[in-house]
Amino acid sequence: MRSRAAGIKLDGERKSMSGMTIMCLQSAIAINLFVDTMKSKMFERIRKLISKGYYNVKLHTRKRMLERNIKIKEVKEAIENGTIIEEYEDDKPLPSYLIYGKTSELRPLHVVVGVDEEVVAIITVYEPDPNKWIGFIKRR
């Protein structure tokens, strides 16, 4: 029995891949799935804490929200309908996350939150600038 290297098609040509390349791709896929699962679990935790009212908004954040005409109801809607687009695991004093979501009126919002065991700290909230973001989820 003859072994054959796996192949993929690129630009109409079949390219062979070594066993090591396949193992590396499988590892990368497994790592991405793990990271996505962890991100999903963290986001569910954030949503759960917010829905139970376990969040705080600092005075500075409330002032900025008032200036930007953003209501806490909109923040909660954006988180409920959103997704984590950036993670800042090394932030101090808490790991933080940038969430992109839309309000019930389809207003796009970015919400930065810090998370500890018992509470979500809403750090900042703003309407993303389309000149700085591609689809509001990727920096230009």
**What digits encode the pLDDT tens for the residues 79-113?**
999 999 999 989 898 899 999 999 999 999 999 99
3-state secondary structure the chain: CCCCCEEEEECCEEEEECHHHHHHHHHHHHHHHHHHHHHHHHHHHHHHHHHCCCEEECHHHHHHHHHCCCCHHHHHHHHHCCEEEEEECCCCCCCEEEEEEECCCCCEEEEEEEECCCCEEEEEEECCCCCCEECCCEEC
Average pLDDT, the chain: 83
How much is the pTM? 0.72
Ordered by start, the domain boundaries in the chain are: 53-139
